[in-house]
Amino acid sequence: MATATAHVPVHTPGETARADMRRRIRAIFVGSIGNLVEWYDFYAYAAFALYFAGSFFPGTDPVVQQLNAAVLFAVGFIVRPIGGWLFGRMADHYGRRRALMLSVLLMCFGSLLIAVTPTYASIGMMAPAMLGFARIVQGLSLGGEYGASATYLSEVAGEKHRGFYSSFQYVTLIGGQLCAILVLLLLQQVFLTPAQLRAWGWRIPFAVGALLALTALAMRRNLHETEEFVAAKSTTTTKPSLRVLMQYPREVLLVVGLTMGGTTAFYTYTTYMQKFLKLSVGLTDMQTTIVTGGSLLFALALQPTYGALSDRIGRKPLLIWFGVMGTLLTIPLLDALQVTKSGLIAFVLICGAWLIVAGYTSINAVVKAELFPTHIRAMGVALPYAVTVSIFGGTAESIALWFKSIGHERWFYYYLTAVIAVSLLVYVGMRDTKRHSTIRR
């Protein structure tokens, strides 16, 4: 009598490789979507500050009101190192997935709080105080999100395409700001009048952001943990801490040095550029939104292109490209931008700036991840980066507006150039992390 045998499917090496690739792509997509939602929530503040600043800060001078709003924007950056330490430690000890879930939940709370905070006319000084607290919550969330997502994307990507896949962190980071601009454009042109936007319409994007954050949380629940973390967790007994991180002083200083110029340039051409086009160039609200949104779309497309290029030629050449061109062309670009009255020319000039800045933004996450071993990677990426961003990136808009308020707007151009030049010295002296990566697969 014949006996039945169970059929065991046999997968060819090609099928196994394709299944593994699909798993990686799905993990990168889900991780990136959550990142996009968090950055949308964070940047909605910058996109709508032109409309809600008057609701929280009394007075008649729009520059002063925007400066006050920019100070609170910077407050969100000041607390990012705390979020970087807290979530970095969590990601290195409990897993990348858990840290990613908690960070997006915290962002949901911060956005919802902004959406429901009463105005200065209703509760006085409690209004800017509540707005500041919401920004602190969002800053903690972003401080943790960057390190956890940069580490996750770098680890889940294959070695040959790590630059390309990790570039999607800035695709979604820029995409989050672009989504905020698109929401602003829809509200401006389709649904609300300028008076309605200033009265109550600015609350809508924050309420939408809170709902999107809950959706991202549900998606992140199904993320798988990275193989690097699982392997490191089973072989090391060292708990992630500041003391362990300080065993890598060279790597920490490299993160600070390679970040300072890039983050200042990034926030100049993103959060500050909207105010610059309105207050300095003199474009209309509609022109400002279209130019800002169009240039961000161009910047978004550059990220995977540059990331893929880094997989072929290395990370260092792209960083040096940014450092050299940023040092030489920042002042001429901003001078030309300030005197133009054409929205089209402004768009072309900002796109030219992005051709330079993308040399940093597209690969900075993977460069940092490739510097540290697995057991301290998330904290190593997050904490020194967050400290540097809080000092240089988060203050870029406030410094630029302060220079403008005292009648020396052009001084900011020299400041930005000097910071990029310092980072250039770091790029020239560092090793190419693609060829000396600590990530093993």
Tell me what pLDDT residue 274 has: 78
Residue ranges for the chain with pLDDT beneath 70: 1-21, 23-24, 31, 34, 59-64, 66, 73-74, 158, 225-230, 232-241, 436-441
Q: Which two tokens stand for residue 405?
A: 């308020």
Alpha-carbon distance of 229 to 263, in angstroms, equals 28
Alpha-carbon distance of 428 to 317, in angstroms, equals 9
As for how many domains the chain has, the answer is 1
Alpha-carbon distance of 137 to 143, in angstroms, equals 10
Nearest CA to 213 among 288, 375, 297, 104? 104
Q: Is residue 284 part of a domain?
A: yes
CB 177 within 8 A of CB 47: yes
Q: Is residue 434 part of a domain?
A: no
CB 439 within 8 A of CB 369: yes
Q: Is residue 16 part of a domain?
A: no
Tell me what pLDDT residue 18 has: 63
Q: Is residue 51 part of a domain?
A: yes
Alpha-carbon distance of 324 to 261, in angstroms, equals 11
The 3-state secondary structure of 166-233, one letter per residue: HCHHHHHHHHHHHHHHHHHHHHHHHHCCHHHHHHCHHHHHHHHHHHHHHHHHHHHCCCCCCHHHHHHH
Q: Is residue 437 part of a domain?
A: no
Q: Which two tokens stand for residue 33?
A: 């979507």
DSSP one-letter string for 379-441: HHHHHHHHHHIIIIITTHHHHHHHHHHTT-TTHHHHHHHHHHHHHHHHHHHS--TTTS-S---
Q: Is residue 167 part of a domain?
A: yes
Domain range for 66 is 23-429
Q: What is the CATH classification number for the domain harbouring 213? A: 1.20.1250.20
User: What are the pLDDT digits (tens) for 67-118?
Assistant: 777 777 667 777 888 888 887 778 877 777 788 888 888 888 888 888 888 8
Q: Is the pTM of this model over 0.95?
A: no
Q: Is residue 436 part of a domain?
A: no
Q: Which two tokens stand for residue 58?
A: 């009394």
Tell me what pLDDT residue 1 has: 45
Q: Is residue 15 part of a domain?
A: no
Tell me what pLDDT residue 59 has: 64
